[in-house]
Structure formats: C-alpha cells, structure tokens
Structure 1
Amino acid sequence: MDIRGELRYRSLYWYNDGLRKAKIRDLTGAENSLKKSIQFDKYNKDARNLLGLVYYGRGDVTRALVVWTVSLKLVPADNIASDYIDEFKSSRGDLEAVDQTAKKYNQCLQYCRQGGEDLAVIQLKKIVTEHPDFLKAYQLLALLYLHTEQYAKARQVLRKAQKLDTTDPITLNYIYELNRMHRKRTSGQKDVKEQQTVSYKLGNETIIQPVETKEREKGMAFTIANIVIGLVVGAAVMWFLIMPAVNESQARQMNESIVEASDQIASQESEISALEKELESYRTQSDEAQTAKETAESTKSSYESLMDIQTKYRNGSESNENLADELLAINQDCLGDLGKEQFTELTESIYPSACRRQYNRGVANSDVENYEAAIENLSKVVRMDETYDDGNAMYLLAQAYEETGDTENAKNYYQKVTEQFSGTSLAEEAQSALESLNAAGSGNTGE
C-alpha cells in the first residue's frame, strides 16, 4: 500500500471511531477522533461534516458553521455541508437566536466577574430552556450552584450536561468536586453525631449510647408525672360534672331539630326539583353560546394568521421554515372557500423548501441517534407532505419512533408506508419492520 492509501486508511479508521463515539454521545471522544481523521486526510468531507454536527450537538453553533464552511470550500461538489449552511443563511431567526444566546452567555460571565451570581443564574436558566443543547451554559450554571452550595441543583444540572457529552472533562471535573464536597459534609455530620454519644466495651462487644445526665433524667420524670396527673384530673371533672348536663342539652336540641327538619324537607324537595330544571336549561344555553364563541374566535384567529403569513411572505421578512410552522398551526376547517384557496397557494410556495430543510435536518439527527429531534423535524415534513421523498420521510419517522420505544406511532407510520407505496421495496421494508414489532408485542404479551 502506498503512502496515500495508508493515510486514507488511517483517516477512515478515525472517522469510523468518531462516528461510533458520536452515536453514544461521547462527543469529546468523537471530536478528538474526527480531528485525527482530518489530520490524515484534510479532504475527508464526511469527517468534517460529522465534526460540525458534534459541535452543533453541544450547542456550539458558531464552530459548527466554521467547520462546514471549510468542508464546502475544500470539497464543493456533492457536499451536504451546503445544505446545513443554507438552512442557517435562509433562517434569520436561527442566526439571530445564536447571536443573542452568545451575548447572553457573555453577559453571564460579566455578572460572575462583578459578583452578580444571582443574575447569572437567572439568565443561564433562560438560556438552557431556550437552547437545551448549550453545554457551556449547563457547566457555568453548575459551577455557580457549587459556589453557592446548592449541591442538589448542581447535581441535576450536571446530569443534563453529561447526557449531552458523556466524557467532557469539565463536566467530569465538576462531578468529582461535587462528590468530594458531599463526602466532606457527610464526614462532618458523622463527627457531630459521635460527639453526642459515648461508647464502652462489654466483653468483646462495643456498646454505643447517647450521653445523658442525672438532671435530664429527673426533669423527664417530673414532666411525665405532671402530664399523667393532669390527664386523670381532667377526665374525672369531665365525667362527673360536665357530661350529664351536656348529654341532656344535646338530646333536647336533637329532638327539636328533627321536628323542624321534617317540616322543611317536603317544601324543599319541590323547590330543588324546579331549580334543577332551570339550572339544566341555563347550562344548555351556556354550552351553545360558548361553542359559538369558540368557533368565531378560531375563525378570526385563522384568518388573521393567514393574512399575517401572506404579508410576511411577500415582504420576505421571515424564512419559509418559520412560515411553514405558522401555516401548520392554522385550522383549515375554519376557513371559507377563498381562505382555503389562499392557504393552498401559500403552502405550494412555502412547503417545498421547508420540507427539504426539515428533512435534511431529520436525516442528520437520525445519523447521530438524536431521535427526539429527528421526530420533531420529520413530523413537520410528513404533516406538510406525507409522500415526501417517495415515502422515505414517513419511513424514517417510523424508525425514529421505534428507536425511542414509541411502538404505536412506529406501527402507524409503517402501515401508512405499506398502504401508500405498495409494490415498492420501501413498502416491503416497512411491512417487515411492522411484522417484527407485532411479533415482539405478541411475545411480550405471552410472557
């Protein structure tokens, strides 16, 4: 084998190693392996693109864009990096969100330097809520919790950070420090407990008991004696003096109440029956009015959303991907004929490019086994166009549901593929997957 072949072989070896680690969320290990792969072959576009996805999976979008840009520059032909970059360029909202997140994170660092840990914690909570893949934000939030001795919250945040990257050294260092502090606190509590006890040996056994004094024992004895005497005296007074009078008064009042209640029951029964009929009438009218009100509000909201989307599309102020999300939220049943015609025109103009971006994103997330994100992407594609990519979108969605353990949704989409694309190889694969799930379900029921 010549030297070029040797370098290419080593590059592929480290790429496969990086891919294997990325699939188990060992993103730090994947990053190191992919960098080695690129060192042996800088034109290995697959390694560069996967490295970009690794950075993206840790919330470092800026580095991901840089890696994809370099990959496209070195290998411009047939490179999926162009799709990744086009998605960000066409979606101003994503770019602005990344920029705002970076500014917020830098502001948190400034708060920490100025002693404003509380403000930094509040800001970081918002960041991780809006961007749950931002690893550095989790790490800084955990560090602040450690600094303020909120160890339970620090442990929760570090668990989330470790799920994003199982071998990140910063996360592991913080976990080690948290465990060290826990052991130190546990040891301190044990010392205090030992100071409150006394131990001595009896034969071959060691006896441990609390430290007690004679004064404490005497005080306890007097307290118990006083309580017992008080209970006895109180019970005697209650039994001989109070209870007879109370029983006589209660009996008299009960007889009077029974007579009065008997007189009222007859008249109240007729009044209750009339009120129930009147109340039922009011409820029926109220339900009808509420239904009409909700229908009118839904129709108004749908038309307003449709007009707003049409304006944004003409002005080019929003990306097609964002407009597609807004279109999916519209209730078409509330639109009239003209509204449905406008809705169809917009979907024909907007859905194709939105489907392509969401589909590419779903495929990429499936490749790194981020199935929850893949389901989110591919579900939108299927809602826009069930037949997209000759049924492959629906088939990949079924696979993603199967990987997350949602067998009901997986079966549903496998069944749709077999019905809508019968006679194709894709339908045969879907049928095979469906039969395997049914067989597995039958086996579990038998057990």
Structure 2
Amino acid sequence: MDIKKKLEYQSNYWYNDGLKRAQIQDMTGAIASLRRSLQYSQSNITARNLLGLLLYGRGEVAEALVQWIISRNFQASGNIAEYYIQKVQSSKSELEVINQVVKKYNQCLQYCSQGGEDLAIIQLKKVVTEHPSFLKAYQLLGLLYLHTEQYGKARQVLRKAHRLDTTDPITLSYLHELNRAQKKKAVSIKEGKEQPAVSYKLGNETIIQPAQGVRENSPMFTIVNIAIGILVGAAVMWFLIMPAVNQSKSQEANESIVEASDQIATQKSEISALKKELEGYRTKSDEAQTAKETAKSTQSSYEALLDVTTKYAAGTESNQNLASTLLSINKDSLGEDGKAQYDKLADSIFPSVCRRQYNRGIASFDVKNYDTAVEALAMVVKMDEEYDDGNAMYVLAQAYEATGDTNNAKTYYQKVTEQFSGTEMAEEAQSKLEALNAAADQNAANQNAAADQNGQGAEDSSSQEQDTTE
C-alpha cells in the first residue's frame, strides 16, 4: 500500500470516528477526530463538510463558513457545501443576528475584564435567546452565575451547554466546580446551625448545658440590662453632666462676644484677601479647563490611532475608512512615538487611497459632478497637498469655483501659486485668482452703487412729500 492510500485510509478512519461521536452528541471529540482526518487529507470534503456542520451547531457560524468555502474550492460541482453556503447567505437577517450576537459576546468579555459581571449576565441572556446554539455564550453565562454564587441558574445554563456538547471539557469542568461549590456551601450552612454548649462548675462537678436554654432566657436578661442602663445614665446626667453643661454655656457666651468683636475688626481685611484668592482660583480654573480639554483631545487622538492600528493589522476595515479616521486625528496632540506610528500608518494607507480618490475626483469633475469632485479631491489634498505635482489641488480649486464656493476656490488657487510658482499651472491659477478678485470687487461696487441709488431715491421721495404738504 503506497503512502497516498495510507493517508486516505487514516483520513477515512478518523472521519468515521468523528461521525460516530457526532451521533452521540460528543461534539468536542467529533471535531477533534475530523480535524485529525483533515490532517491526513485536506481534500476529504466529506469530513470538512461535517466539520462545518458541527461548528455551525455549536454557534460558530464564521468558522463553519470557512470550512465549507474551502470544501467548495476543492470540488466546485456536486458539493453539498454549496447548498450550506447559499442557505446561510440567503438569510441576511440571520447573518445580521449572528454578527450582532458575536459583537455582544465580545462586549461581555470586556465587561468581565472590567468587573461588570451584572452587565455581562444581562447581555448574555439576550445572546443565548437570539442564538440558542451558541455554546461559548452558555459557558460564559454559567461561569458568571457560578462566580456570583447563583448556583441554581448556573446548573440550568450548564445543562443546556451539556446538551449541545456532552463531552466539552470546559462545560464538564464548570459542572464539577458547581458541584464542589454547592457541597461546600451545604457544609458551611450545616455547621452554622450547630450551637455550642454552655458549661459551668457547680462545686467539684462540671455542668454542661445546651445553649438553647440561654437563648430562651436571653430576652428577659436583655430587658433588665436595658432598664438598669437607663437608670444609671439618667443619674449620671443629672448629677454630673448638667452642671458642667450650664457652666460651659456661660463660658461659651462670653467667648462668643469676644470673638464677634475680633471678627468685626478683621472683616474688611479678610474680604479683600478672599477677593484676591477668588481671582487666583478663577485663573487656575481656566488653566485646569484648558489642560482638561488638551488631555481629552490627546486621549481621543491616541484611542483613534490605536483603533486604526488594530483594524489595519487585522484587515477588517477598508483603507478609505482608516484614512478618514487618521485625518480626523490631531497629530500635534500626539507624542513622538504617537507621531511616528501615525506617519508609519499614513505611509502605508494614504498612497492607495489618494490614487482611488484622485481618479474618482477627476472623473467626477470631467462629467461636471462638482460636489463629488470636491469631496474626493479635498480628501486627497488633506493627505498630500502636492499629489500629482499639485494638479489635485488645482482641480479642487476649479471644482470649488464651479460650485460657487469662491472663498475656498481663492484659498486653493493661492496655495497653487505659492507652492508651485514658476509652473504653467501656477500662472493659470494666478489668472483665475485675479479674475475671482476682480469679479468680487465689481460685485461690491455694484452693491454700493445700488445702495447709494436707493438712498438717493428715498431722499427725493421725502422731499416731494414735504413739498406736497406745504
């Protein structure tokens, strides 16, 4: 038997083992056997399709889709994996629910790391309701119930997890810990109910009496002790405390008169000092507010930079969205390391985004879709003002002029003339800038003339009315 047949034999052997385990709800063992089967033969699509079904049954939809897609790549036609993929993808609402469920589950993990077990429990209840086969959610919910000593609820949740996978080691370890904790609690309750006996000597003999008798007589002893305490307290107050209180009141009255005189004498100086102190506090308050706003801006910038770094490494976000986030960061609020990381990300992300947005902006400008051209080219210029030797900035100025936004058009025409002086493009930008300025001056002159004419007309009308009255 050659090596290829041996590998196929081993792969089929472990597939059959996985199938047997799946039939008795041994999902963990079945998944392990099927993965081992695929180690011997990656192209065993039967094993891979079954593995995808088991993962889907445990609520791991994304991993199931990965297995089915790989299976389809090995055999495109006559593969039941195609049916599974279409079945999942055809229900967009189900995919959206699963996506939201996974996000909520990840949020619960954050709650747990921050000590928010109550919030995590509430969220996980919604997760298992929306996705009843999500094994990991049941396990985490059972663990939280176990941690908060809600043993009844923990057992109910872990039993559901056990029904999904009868041999999952995590579920089994939680059930073992639950049984141990319940036994420990039962023992502590039983020990707490036992009452120590009371012993005393009578002559040469030691008498041992249960504590129950003492508890039965304890209310009477308590009442007697309270009565005696009240009588002793009243006597002490009448004979010792009251004379001292009267003397203290007289002394306090004399001292208050002296203090009032001193306060009146120093009132003006204290008011002046308080005014100066108040001004100092106001100054410090303004400085503290400024520092607080700076710290908030710095925190927001670092959080956004960390978010871009994470998403870029994971490849879960488009470069255009990452570029938009980078452009929103206040780079000046970052430290040296932060600026270095910003520049590193910008060098990796901006070039491709600039190329796509520049092509989009030029195409939109050519078909006179000036608003879209402004949107795309403005983003390009923010990333690189000198892109395409300044042509991006020059076309942006023209797009602004076409939309009637002459202020921005003048701004970018002026930048082109300053940054690319000596070029034909700079000369054209200067001509357009002079034309816009001339048009603005002419418009202002026309408005002034119209205002003067309206004023003169009003004066003539007033004079005519005065003559008629006379």
TM-score range, shorter chain: 0.3 to 0.5
Q: TM-score, normalised by structure 1?
A: 0.44
Which is higher, the Rg of structure 1 or of structure 2? 2
Q: TM-score, normalised by structure 2?
A: 0.42
Q: Flag the structure with more relative contact order, 1 or 2, with Cα contacts below 8 A and sequence separation at least 6.
A: 1
